[in-house]
Chain A
Amino acid sequence: MAVSTVYTTQSLNSTCSISTPAKTHLGFHQKQVVFYRRTSKKGSSSGSGSGSGSGSCVITCSAGDSQTVVIGLAADSGCGKSTFMRRLTSVFGGAAEPPKGGNPDSNTLISDMTTVICLDDYHSLDRTGRKEKGVTALDPRANDFDLMYEQVKAIKNGVAVDKPIYNHVTGLLDPPELIKPPKILVIEGLHPMFDERVRDLLDFSIYLDISNEVKFAWKIQRDMAERGHSLESIKASIEARKPDFDAYIDPQKKYADAVIEVLPTQLIPDDNEGKVLRVRLIMKEGVKNFSPVYLFDEGSTISWIPCGRKLTCSYPGIKFHYAPDSYFGNEVSILEMDGQFDRLDELIYVESHLSNISTKFYGEVTQQMLKHADFPGSNNGTGLFQTIVGLKIRDLYEQITSSKTAAPLEATKA
Chain B
Amino acid sequence: MGGLQKKKYERGSATNYITRNKARKKLQLSLADFRRLCILKGIYPHEPKHKKKVNKGSTAPRTFYLFKDIRFLLHEPIVRKFREYKVFVRKLRKAYGKAEWTGVERLRDNKPGYKLDHIIKERYPTFIDALRDIDDALSMCFLFSTFARTGKCHVQTITLCRRLTVEWMNYVVTSRSLRKVFLSIKGIYYQAEVLGQLITWLVPYQFAHDHPTDVDYRVMATFTEMYTTLFGFINFRLYQTLNLVYPPKLDSKAESELKAEHEEDYAMDSESYLEKLSALSASLARVVATAEEEENQLDLFPTEGEDQENMQAREKEQKEQEAQKRLFEGLKFFLNREVPRESLAFILRCFGAEVSWDKSLCIGGTYEVTDETITHQIVDRPDMDKQYINRYYIQPQWVFDSVNAQMRLPVEDYFLGTTLPPHLSPFVEEKDGDYVPPEKLKLMALQRGEKPVQEEEDEEEEDEEEEEEDDEEEDDVDDEELTEEKNLKKMEGTRAQGKTLAVKVTPGKVKPWETGSVGNKVRLEQEEKAEEKRLAIMMMKKKEKYLYDKIMFGKKRTTREVNKLTAKRKAHEDASKSQKKQKKAKKQ
Whether chains A and B associate is no
